[in-house]
């Protein structure tokens, strides 16, 4: 052991980092660049991670917030993993754009559920965060006034939807499992006939990463969540660590953001990563701690993930070229 360095046990949560929907979205941009060359336009950050976005920019991706920022072009225009309102592909079609939809299939599932409930005459309660691109996309699947957003338990207690007897709920895919369960319970107590999703809307990756954090957080002095401030699933991981008993839980984008005073005196450290954070950033943070501590790294596995989503049809090798 290096006498100059204090010992530090690092528990790496598994699963962590990229989920299947994020891998598919990033691969879609890279395959479009390989197949069609630069530039490739991307509406909104393809995933919420600056490192990923900057690396794709270097390869020739141009990120825009709205389609009116895209010039008249034959270049591909890719929609982000978070999903888009129906007006966006309609605008793209009107402008004869070569649009590629990289919406995560699990987000698309929520869109389809909302449409089915709407066709059955139900008013929809959407549990999610106002302004998050996934929520904007889901609300944009249906006419205004057909979806009511529920952000907090207080909202669940007080909202007055227009049709109390024929309601259904859907949720954003990246929410806190525990918070959502609380809100659903409140809504069910108020609206006993509330229709639920056929299968849980919160995605497998969000659920698995939160569960891993809940297992590790009580065992460590501090927890680092590698992820972006605008990443919903990363913020929920930090909250989950705090709730599970880890007072020093911080969200970091990179090793350069480490405030070493926060970690003074620790002997155990948990590390996880949001679903849009690449493993290279986890490695970077582990290396930074290894420079100051005599580290012993362990993997804390709570689930195995084998989910795979194929590329959007327009980019598959079996599609007509």
Residues with a catalytic annotation lie at 134
319's torsion region: left (phi>0), alpha (psi -120 to 50) or beta? beta
Nearest one of 94, 310, 300 to 211, comparing CA atoms: 300
Its sign, for the CA torsion 214, 187, 118, 139, is negative
Task: Tell me the C-alpha distance between 223 and 241, whole Å.
Answer: 7
Pairwise CA distance, residues 226 & 269, whole Å: 13
Q: What is the CA radius of gyration of the chain?
A: 21
Q: What token pair was written down for 100? A: 């590629």
Q: How far apart are CA 183 and CA 167, in angstroms?
A: 15
Tokens describing residue 295: 């580290």
| 8 phi, psi to nearest 5 deg | -145, 120
């Amino acid at each position: 052991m290096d006498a100059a360095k204090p010992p530090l046990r690092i528990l790496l949560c598994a699963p962590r980092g990229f989920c299947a929907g994020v891998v598919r979205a990033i691969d879609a941009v890279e395959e479009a660049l390989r197949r069609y060359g630069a530039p490739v336009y991307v509406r909104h950050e393809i995933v919420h991670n600056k490192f990923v976005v900057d690396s794709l920019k270097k390869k020739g991706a141009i990120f825009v917030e709205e389609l009116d920022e895209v010039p008249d072009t034959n270049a591909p225009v890719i929609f982000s993993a978070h999903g888009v309102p129906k007006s966006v592909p309609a605008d793209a079609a009107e402008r004869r754009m070569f649009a590629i939809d990289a919406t995560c299939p699990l987000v698309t599932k929520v869109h389809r559920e909302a449409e089915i409930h709407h066709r059955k005459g139900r008013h929809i309660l959407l549990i999610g965060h106002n302004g998050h691109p996934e929520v904007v996309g889901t609300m944009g699947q249906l006419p205004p006034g057909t979806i009511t957003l529920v952000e907090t338990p207080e909202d669940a207690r007080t909202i007055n939807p227009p049709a109390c007897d024929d309601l259904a709920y859907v949720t954003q895919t990246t929410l806190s499992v525990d918070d959502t369960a609380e809100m659903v319970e409140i809504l069910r107590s108020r609206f006993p006939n509330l229709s639920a999703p056929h299968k849980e809307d919160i995605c497998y990756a969000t659920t698995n990463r939160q569960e891993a954090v809940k297992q590790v957080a009580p065992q460590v002095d501090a927890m680092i969540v590698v992820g972006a401030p605008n990443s919903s699933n990363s913020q929920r991981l930090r909250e989950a660590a705090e709730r599970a008993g880890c007072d020093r839980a911080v969200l970091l984008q990179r090793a350069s953001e480490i405030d070493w005073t926060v970690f003074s005196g620790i002997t155990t450290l948990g590390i996880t990563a949001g679903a849009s954070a690449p493993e290279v950033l986890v490695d970077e943070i582990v290396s930074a701690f290894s420079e100051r501590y005599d580290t012993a790294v362990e993997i804390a596995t709570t689930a195995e993930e084998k989910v795979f989503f194929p590329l959007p049809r327009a980019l598959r090798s079996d599609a007509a070229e």
